[in-house]
């Protein structure tokens, strides 16, 4: 889970607001929040199965193909925003996190 803020907006905040955000916007908070989304996904899949919805797991070859196709989207996003913020580093961290939490 990532929370981004425009640096100009951040700099315009009073010190007490920055301090409050820093106190709650921790890595532990992000991991806990992300865990809620994972649990929600698990619950929705369970409910879907109970309602008769079929789910299919992609093969490794299909996953490789999908990753290849969506990598263009990632590259475009990185290129679009790289002058505004560390877009490549954010994407790398996101993908690393997603892979390690599978």
Cα(first)–Cα(last) distance of the chain, in Å?
15
Q: What is the pLDDT of residues 28-77, one digit of tens each?
A: 888 888 888 889 999 999 999 999 999 989 999 999 999 899 999 999 99
H helix or E strand, kind and range, residue 66: helix 60-81
Question: Quick one: the chain helix, strand, coil %, rounded to 5?
Answer: 75, 0, 25
Give me the residue spans of the domains in the chain. 1-53, 56-102
In b/e form, how buried is each residue of 10-39, taking b as 16+ CB within 10 angstroms?
Answer: eeeeeeeeeeeeeeeeeeeeeeeeeeeeee
pTM reported for the whole predicted model: 0.48
Q: What is the pLDDT of residues 43-53, one digit of tens each?
A: 999 999 999 99
């Amino acid at each position: 889970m990532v929370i981004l803020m425009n640096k100009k907006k951040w700099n315009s905040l009073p010190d007490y607001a920055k301090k409050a955000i820093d106190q709650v916007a921790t890595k532990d908070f992000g991991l806990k929040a992300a865990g809620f989304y994972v649990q929600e996904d698990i619950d929705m899949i369970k409910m879907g199965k109970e309602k008769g919805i079929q789910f299919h797991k992609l093969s490794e070859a299909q996953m490789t193909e999908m990753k290849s196709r969506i990598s263009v989207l990632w590259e475009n996003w990185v290129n679009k925003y790289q002058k505004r913020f560390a877009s490549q580093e954010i994407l790398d961290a996101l993908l690393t996190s997603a892979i390690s939490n599978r």
